[in-house]
Amino acid sequence: MEGRESFASIAFNEEPLHTRCWLLPEGRKARAILFIAHGLGEHSACYDKLVDIFVSKDILVYSHDHYGHGLSPGVPGLVSNMQDIVDPVLSHARQIRSANPGTPIFLMGHSMGGLAAVLCAKAEPGLFRGLLLNAPALGVNPAFAPAWKITVGRWLAYLCPQMVMPFSEMKVEYLTSDEAMREELKNDPLQFSRGVRCASGLAIIDAIESLAEYRADFPFIVLHARPDMLTYYQGSERFFQRAVTEDKEFVSFDNLGHQLHYEVEPYRSQVREAMCNWILSRC
C-alpha cells in the first residue's frame, strides 16, 4: 500500500524495533485496530498487499519486525525464546492502546506469529478484543518432527543454536500457488528463507508444548489449509476443540498453501473478507 504508511522505531530492552503503521485516509476515524504478528523469516512489509481491505473498512493496522527479522536488529531468523517475540508485541500493543483509548484492538498472527498471538492473549487477557490465527503454529507434526528428531534438535540448539537445520528450507511452493507471489517472495531481500535455525525450531516447539492443555477463553478465528506443509493443521483443530470460549470459528481450506492471504483468486479474496468481516462484527 503506497502513500499512507508511517515508519518508526520503538525501544524494547533498549534495542530498537522497526515498526510500521498503515494509516487511514485523512479525516477517517478508526473503527478498530489490527496488530499483525508476522511469521518466522518474514517481516512487516510482507503484509503490504493484505492491509488494503482493512484500511478501506477503517481498520487501523500496526506491525513491527520481530528481533532477527526485517529491519530490526538481531541474527536473521534467530528466535532464542518465544518471549523475545511475545514481550515486544505486548509492549507495542499497550502503547497503541494508550494512544487510541476506547478503540478495540485485534491481534492477527501468521504461522509462528499465530503461536505468539495465543501466548500474548494468554499472558494478558483483555488486551485484545479477539485473535485472527492464520495458519498458526499450534502443533508439532509427528511425521516431520518425531521424538528422536526433537531430542537431536535440543542438542544442536545447545551446541550450535544459529545453525540452520538440514532440509528446513521454506520453499515458496509451500507458501502459495500464485506464481507472481512466489517470484516476489523469492526476490525479497528481507525474507530469511534459508530454513529454520536450531534454536528457533526448539523455541517454537517448546512454546507449542507449553500450550498442550491450554483451553482458550478469548474470541478467535482460525484459518488453515489441510495440506499445509509448514504448520500442522491438526494442531489448529485440537486447539479449536479444546477452547472453552463460545466465540470461536474455524475456516478450513483444501489444496491451498501456507500463506492463505496470498493465494490465487477467488481464495485470496475469501480469506481477506473472512478476516475483515470477523473483526467488524465484533467492534
Question: CA 6 to CA 132: how far, in whole Å?
Answer: 23
Pull the grid cell for residue 87: 514481550
Residue 261 · residue 44 · CB < 8 Å: no
Could you give all domains of the chain from N- to C-terminal order, each with its CATH number? 5-280 (3.40.50.1820)
Question: CA 118 to CA 106: how far, in whole Å?
Answer: 12
Radius of gyration of the chain (CA): 18
For residue 266, whether the previous peptide bond is cis, meaning omega lies within 30 degrees of 0, is yes
Tens digit of pLDDT at every position of the chain (283 positions): 444 565 556 666 668 899 999 999 999 999 999 999 999 999 999 999 999 999 999 999 999 999 999 999 999 999 999 999 999 999 999 999 999 999 999 999 999 999 999 999 999 999 999 999 999 999 998 877 778 878 888 888 889 999 998 878 888 999 999 999 999 999 999 999 899 999 999 999 999 999 999 999 999 999 999 999 999 999 999 999 999 999 999 999 998 999 999 999 999 999 999 999 999 999 9
In DSSP terms, 265 is beta-bridged to none
Question: CA 141 to CA 227: how far, in whole Å?
Answer: 12
